[in-house]
Amino acid sequence: MRRDESSKFGTKQITITAVLLAICIVSQVFKNIHVLITGPIVNLCILLAVLMVNLPCGIILSIITPVTAYIIAASPVMTAVPAVIVFIMLGNIVLAVSVQVFFKKPFVKSKSSEIKVTYVVRAVFCALAKSVFMGVTISMWLLPTFIPEGSPLRGKMKTFQMMFSVTQFATACIGFVYVFVVYFVLKQAFKRDLALFQKSDS
């Protein structure tokens, strides 16, 4: 019996996941420059893992990348409230699962190279699912509950709350823009190579 590709995890899957993880780690080195540099790249890699391989690969990246971010350049809020890392993982998983359920099939199976409105709507929905989850769990509950009243971080509470809600939506949306560009460029390149091969073979 042929193994289902959606759950297969062999050499190919491990290799692609490792490459995407390496890209994430390199981008996280520049995390302190601006979150709009690192965030979209990490989201892009999670999205590509789901679209190019399968959901388990996307989940693995969703879990590992917050840990590597903490190791490479931990933010003050992550140090003060380590549980934030767990909910970032869960937010990434929400994105990965949303992409698997609502976005992957129509996007990958489409023979057209045009970006349809339905793709954009589905992408926005997936990005919104992640940002709403993190906004509710981190911004509205975790940070106000576990950052002590006397902590200097209280003065930056609104900034942190924005970071784990609106900013998450923005970085996920930018990640989808990157996906559209990368995926369709690769698709066009593949079509050109296939056409040249068929022409030379005739």
Tokens of 148: 């002590």
**Can you give the pLDDT at residue 187?**
65
pLDDT interval class at 171 (50, 70, 90): very high
Break the chain into its structural domains and give their ranges: 11-201
Q: Is the pTM of this model over 0.85?
A: yes
Position 46, amino acid: I
- Better-predicted residue by pLDDT, 31 or 91: 91
10-23 pLDDT per residue, tens: 788 889 899 999 99
94: Cβ–Cβ under 8 A, 6 or more apart, which residues?
129, 130, 133
- Better-predicted residue by pLDDT, 5 or 102: 102
Sign of the alpha-carbon dihedral angle for 37, 119, 106, 190: negative
51: Cβ–Cβ under 8 A, 6 or more apart, which residues?
99, 104, 107, 108, 179, 183
- Whether 3 has a pLDDT exceeding 50, the answer reads no
**Can you give the pLDDT at residue 107?**
86
**Can you give the pLDDT at residue 109?**
79
- Better-predicted residue by pLDDT, 93 or 182: 93
65-84 pLDDT per residue, tens: 999 999 988 888 999 999 99
11-201 CATH pick, 1.10.150, 1.10.1760, 3.40.50, 1.10.10: 1.10.1760
